């Protein structure tokens, strides 16, 4: 069965130009040209990803005493006066301290068409630093969601969990994706897509998305299966790429003799998926948490999977997904191959004119177990 003969949700862009789905890079440029996405001084093309737009921190941050949502009928500015503790200038850079909560107006603002909504997520490097960040919009009753037709500013809530960071105006911690229609593919359509495109290199487990599991098999060379954040570390300057020795910030994690690892309550881990994942050029995906009853842990999901992720890596074999994991109240034994999350796929409205990988200078194409880009590879 060919792609175009399958379920309509599996059809390529030629079969559904300008249709429902995720807005691609070339249409994001058109949104900028029409003023639907705007910023003082303009929105640089470098912010545009295959299926999303990077968002930049503004010049000011407020230390706030609690996270909040404005709620229906209220703006973020209305609520800020109740929670703001002090103002911080990000123009030359400022430390955002571990355990604190900050609110930062973003440089970009939106004036969306009535049929276009948006969803946001942390960028991959933010998640790998355990830098918890969420988007807030005026009248918002949910984090990371912007309703169709929204006209107003955007804000980032930022809470460093494991490391204090040095942030500057213009840093990109969040990204936003625009869509027409409902979004996620049905399981039937996802099975058809896997049959046509081979989304993972192992048997596909599909149930409300494509399941993925954790790789905790001992490495032949003795390399770690993961990393655990050290509880007392130095400051990380977000603008310094490849500058930090992982040993100063992370402890290597090795499997126990009997297999698996035990997650410690409150600890943060970087692990890797057992599966190699493939996102075809006509699709995008988002990592979603596994069901809460699966265990006392959560995959701290960060970021979208852009069209082309794993598409040309290792001869088309896919790329591993990095898992940001935090354990909750009780120690939890995590075993090799245990299911920890799922990928929710969405069709693109059209194939983007750029793809994840070399075309956009992507940091994580073809990745295995990889820390954030601020850390050296050695």
Q: Is residue 2 part of a domain?
A: no
Instruction: Mark whether 172 and 200 lie in a shared domain.
Output: no
Beta bridge partners of 289: 341
CA terminus-to-terminus distance, the chain: 46
How far apart are alpha carbons 338 and 218 in whole angstroms? 15
Q: Is residue 73 part of a domain?
A: yes
Instruction: Count the domains in the chain.
Output: 2
Instruction: Mark whether 119 and 236 lie in a shared domain.
Output: no
Q: Is residue 85 part of a domain?
A: yes
Q: Is the pLDDT of residue 207 over 60?
A: yes
Q: Is residue 112 part of a domain?
A: yes
Q: Is residue 168 part of a domain?
A: yes
pLDDT digits (tens, 9 = 90+) for 223-251: 999 999 999 999 999 999 999 999 999 99
Instruction: Mark whether 171 and 230 lie in a shared domain.
Output: no
Burial of 296 (0-12, 13-18, 19+ CB in 10 A): middle
Residue 104 has what pLDDT? 98
Tokens of 373: 């880009």
How far apart are alpha carbons 28 and 178 in whole angstroms? 8
Instruction: Mark whether 174 and 207 lie in a shared domain.
Output: no
pLDDT digits (tens, 9 = 90+) for 45-86: 999 999 999 999 999 999 999 999 999 999 999 999 899 999
Instruction: Mark whether 204 and 224 lie in a shared domain.
Output: yes
221-247 core/surface letters (b: 16 or more CB in 10 A; e: else)? eeebbbbbbbeeeeebbbeeeeebebe
Q: Of 180, 203, 227, at which residue does a domain stop?
A: 180
pLDDT digits (tens, 9 = 90+) for 256-271: 999 999 999 999 999 9
Mean pLDDT, residues 185-203 taken together: 93
Instruction: Mark whether 118 and 204 lie in a shared domain.
Output: no
Instruction: Mark whether 232 and 161 lie in a shared domain.
Output: no
Mean pLDDT of the chain: 88
Instruction: Mark whether 249 and 306 lie in a shared domain.
Output: yes
Mean pLDDT, residues 345-370 taken together: 74
Residue 301 has what pLDDT? 61
Is 130 within 8 Å of 268 (Cβ atoms)? yes
Given pLDDT bands bounded at 50, 70 and 90, which one contains residue 341?
confident
Residue 11 has what pLDDT? 45
Residue 292 has what pLDDT? 54
Q: Is the pLDDT of residue 221 over 70?
A: yes
Q: Is the pLDDT of residue 10 over 60?
A: no
Instruction: Mark whether 137 and 230 lie in a shared domain.
Output: no
Q: Parallel, antiparallel, or unpaired: how do β-strands 151-160 and 131-137 relate?
A: antiparallel
Residue 304 has what pLDDT? 84
Instruction: Mark whether 343 and 209 lie in a shared domain.
Output: yes
Instruction: Mark whether 159 and 280 lie in a shared domain.
Output: no
Domain around 316: 187-360
Supply the CATH number for residue 355's domain: 2.70.40.10
Q: Is residue 9 part of a domain?
A: no
Given pLDDT bands bounded at 50, 70 and 90, which one contains residue 189?
very high
Output the pTM of the full model. 0.89
Q: Is residue 373 part of a domain?
A: no
Tokens of 176: 């936003």
Instruction: Mark whether 150 and 207 lie in a shared domain.
Output: no
Q: Is residue 143 part of a domain?
A: yes
Given pLDDT bands bounded at 50, 70 and 90, which one contains residue 3?
very low
């Amino acid at each position: 069965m060919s792609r175009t003969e399958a379920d309509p949700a599996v059809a390529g862009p030629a079969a559904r130009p300008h249709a429902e789905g995720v807005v691609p890079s070339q249409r994001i440029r058109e949104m900028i040209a029409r003023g639907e996405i705007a910023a003082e001084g303009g929105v640089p093309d470098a912010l545009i990803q295959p299926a999303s737009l990077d968002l930049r921190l503004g010049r000011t941050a407020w230390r706030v005493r609690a996270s909040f949502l404005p709620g229906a009928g209220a703006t973020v500015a209305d609520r800020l006066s109740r929670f703001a503790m002090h103002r911080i200038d990000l123009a030359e850079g400022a430390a955002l301290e571990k355990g604190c909560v900050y609110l930062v107006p973003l440089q970009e603002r939106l004036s969306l068409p009535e049929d276009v909504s948006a969803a946001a997520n942390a960028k991959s490097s933010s998640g790998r630093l355990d830098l918890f960040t969420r988007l807030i919009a005026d009248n918002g009753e949910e984090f990371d969601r912007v309703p169709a037709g929204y006209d107003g500013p955007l804000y980032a809530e930022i809470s460093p969990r494991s490391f204090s960071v040095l942030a500057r105006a213009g840093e990109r911690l969040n990204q936003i994706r625009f869509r027409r229609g409902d979004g996620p593919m049905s399981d039937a359509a996802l099975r058809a897509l896997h049959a046509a495109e081979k989304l993972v290199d192992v048997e596909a487990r599909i149930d409300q998305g494509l399941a993925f599991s954790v790789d905790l098999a001992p490495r032949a060379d003795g390399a770690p299966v993961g990393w655990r954040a050290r509880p007392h570390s130095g400051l990380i300057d977000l603008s310094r790429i490849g500058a930090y020795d992982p040993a100063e910030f992370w402890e290597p994690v090795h499997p126990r003799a009997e297999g698996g690892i035990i997650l410690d309550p409150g600890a943060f881990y970087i692990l890797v998926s057992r599966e190699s994942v493939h996102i075809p050029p006509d699709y995008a995906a988002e990592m979603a948490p596994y069901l809460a009853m699966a265990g006392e842990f959560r995959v701290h999901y960060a970021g979208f999977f852009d069209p082309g992720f794993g598409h040309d890596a290792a001869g088309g074999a896919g790329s591993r997904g990095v898992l940001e994991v935090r354990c909750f109240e009780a120690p939890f034994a995590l075993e090799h191959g245990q299911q920890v999350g799922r990928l929710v796929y969405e069709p693109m409205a059209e194939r983007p004119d750029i793809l994840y990988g070399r075309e956009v200078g992507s940091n994580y194409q073809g990745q295995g177990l990889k820390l954030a880009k601020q850390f050296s590879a050695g």
